[in-house]
Structure 1
Amino acid sequence: MRLFLSSGDLVADRRYEFARDLQLKGDLPAAADLLEQAIELAPNFASAWFTLGEIRRQLGQPEAAITAFRAAREADPEDRHGAGLRLMQLGAEAVAAMPPAYVQTLFDQYAPRFEAALVGDLGYRGPALLLRAVLSVCAAPKQPAFFKRAIDLGCGTGLAAGAFAEHVDRFIGIDLSPRMIEKSRATGFYAELETDDMLSGMTTKPDASAELILAADAMVYVADLAPVLREAKRVLVAGGVFAFTAETHDGEDVIVGGGLRYAHSAPYVRAAVAAAGLTLALLEDLSARNEDNIPAPGLVVVAVKP
């Protein structure tokens, strides 16, 4: 689903819609021409600028794409389209945090069809992989895989809580999207639900107040893992477990991948876990979802508070 922010000019909006039709049919030059006409009528038309940037990128015109994405962000300072992420991807800006408004808008739009798209279309298997990983880590010291209090970061519609329901007494869910929170509330899995980003949601939790923290397909929206890992260590009891999935790549550090999600290299994840004072109990190359019908390179990570 493509975000559309009206220009306020009916003719400009109509040209944008025609351009989108042409884009979907593969006539990119004609679509670009119509978008430029729309922008001439409405110079602060964020959706037209963003779509023009996408087309210029598809046409192999990176400088023109960068100009369009910058104009899109200038027209919408909240950056609900994620133009800044495209600029990072194109190497025009350093990798930085995602705009909160982009993440909230994305998932508010996504909420009604989230499970069908993620599980049905993308073969999402993150919660099952995390459950298997946590059970494996608990089995090694013959520790019961039962947790009194757990926090589900980026809880979405409650898929992770559903997978762990038999192993957790009390779940707190945190998600930036109010519509996702509505979906997760309907599951009945959560004792508490909070509309907040992962980091600030955790900062309100007392020290040593959880035995388990989960982040299933959520760290892909976090550029710098260090603050989240540090808070996880503070909030976990001794012996507590933080389990998360990530997308990855063969290079170094963090990049913005093709799906506008962050990909963290395995060495980066290892270093971030160690720097937070957690013990890496498991790191496996496992894909939590597909992209273009191919498993997206991924990691399943389990860290334990000493």
Structure 2
Amino acid sequence: MLPSQLSSGDIIADRRADYAKMLAESGEPASAAELMEQALELTPGWAAGWFTLATYREKAGNTQGAIEALNQVLALDTDDIFGARLKLAVLGAAEMPDQPPSRYVERLFDDYADRFETSLVEKLGYSVPQKLAALIAGTTSIPPHFRLAVDLGCGTGLFGPEIRARVDRLEGFDLSKGMLAKAADKGVYDNLGQADLSLPPPSSGIFDDGLARGRANLIAAADVLMYLGNLESVMTIVAELAASSAVFAFSVEDAEEGEGYLLRDSLRFAHSEAYVGATLAAHGFVVRNLVRSVIRMDAGKPVHGFLFITQKSV
């Protein structure tokens, strides 16, 4: 159950949900689903409970039952903080959205903030910030030092320490306030702010508080674009942020096929090299370096992606 939605408000329903979780963890998802159904008979308005039921039903092989539960989630939660539409798309019951709901991404990382670095770095072998910083340093056609760098989707601030020595000023932006609080604790950012990269520049928050357009010499997005299918909004933001000849360094998961992007079972988007390249060119960026690399592990398997070093054409 999600940390922000632990209780249904009914003691008996919560107890049944707890037993259901125990059954699911012991490899009995069908029995877990039956107990969750009983809990939801007592609390039919519990959106998180319906989402959990969908998870159990899917694991038990009851795809249609999972779809029905997810549709119930959407009926109760119009903001879709659980990402039910994304899951329906993965199950083939809805069209793939261009982007995930902002409230889903915000809630996901607010709930994940306290354990983010332990889970991602220590357990999943995540090393994109270090790899991206090394690639920036190793690309001979770009400057060795930057006046102002902007870390888009900065999260807990893993990229900041990797680049701090090479920049005069460092700004970080993220949708999750929980993540921003963790980044602030590192003490390496000169400015941190909340922003939504799925929105066009006037609404994104990147230019609030009088922050200028065209101010950044380096823009980074480490493990961020996986939460944005269509990259048009974020590339518009990047283009407006970028000073002349600015560097844009980022990672994407490799779609491995096609010329667009796709939604994976992880509810993360993967992008083709061709799609990213065309989007960059449309916004005036030239690829200076490109490396295919393992981004992290998922269920014991490597997730492959691309690390891009690009530069705004003069």
* TM-score grouping bracket, smaller chain normalisation: over 0.9
**Structure 1 residue aligned with 2:284:** 277
Equivalent pair of 1:249/1:263 in contact (CA under 8 Å)? yes
Note the residue ranges of structure 1 that are not aligned, 5 or more in a row.
none
Q: Does 1:225 align with 2:231?
A: yes
Quick check: 214-223 or 95-104, which moved more? 95-104
Partner of 1:134: 136
Structure 1, 10-19 or 118-127: larger mean CA deviation: 10-19
1:240 shift after superposition: 0.5
Amino acid at match of 1:103: V
* 2:122 pairs with one of 115, 120, 123: 120
Tell me whether 1:202 sits opposite 2:202 in the alignment: no
TM-score by length of 2: 0.91
Query: What is the alpha-carbon distance in structure 2 between the residues aligned to residue 120 and residue 36 of structure 1?
Result: 36
Give unmatched runs, 5+ long, in structure 2: none
Would you say 1:16 and 2:26 are equivalent positions? no
Structure 1 position 234 matched with structure 2 position 233: no
| Residue 93 (structure 1) aligned with residue 97 (structure 2) | no
* Corresponding residue for residue 55 of structure 1: 56
CA deviations over 1:102-149 (Å, ceiling 9, x no partner): 212211121112111111011111111111221233x1x3x4321110
Q: Partner of 2:265 in structure 1?
A: 258
CA root-mean-square deviation: 1.7
The TM-score with structure 1 as length reference comes to 0.93
Matched, 1:182 2:181: yes
Alpha carbons 2:207, 2:213 under 8 Å: kept? no
Residues 239-292 of structure 1, C-alpha deviations (whole Å, 9 max, x = no match):
101111111222332222222211112222112212222112223211221112
How many Å separate the matches in 2 of 1:283 and 1:70? 41
How many angstroms does 1:195 deviate by? 1.7
Q: Distance in 1 between matches of 2:146 and 2:133?
A: 12
Q: CA deviation at 1:5?
A: 4.6
**Worse-matched range after superposition: 170-179 or 74-83:** 74-83
Whole-angstrom CA distance in 1 between matches of 2:156 and 2:95? 32
Is this contact kept in 1: 2:232–2:279, CA < 8 A? yes
CA distance in 1, matches of 2:275, 2:27: 38
Per the alignment, in what secondary structure is the counterpart of residue 61 of structure 2?
Answer: coil
Q: Distance in 2 between matches of 1:157 and 1:276?
A: 28
Tell whether the 8 Å contact from 1:35 to 1:52 is kept in structure 2 after alignment. yes
Report the alpha carbon displacement of residue 32 of structure 1 after superposing the two structures with TM. Answer: 1.0
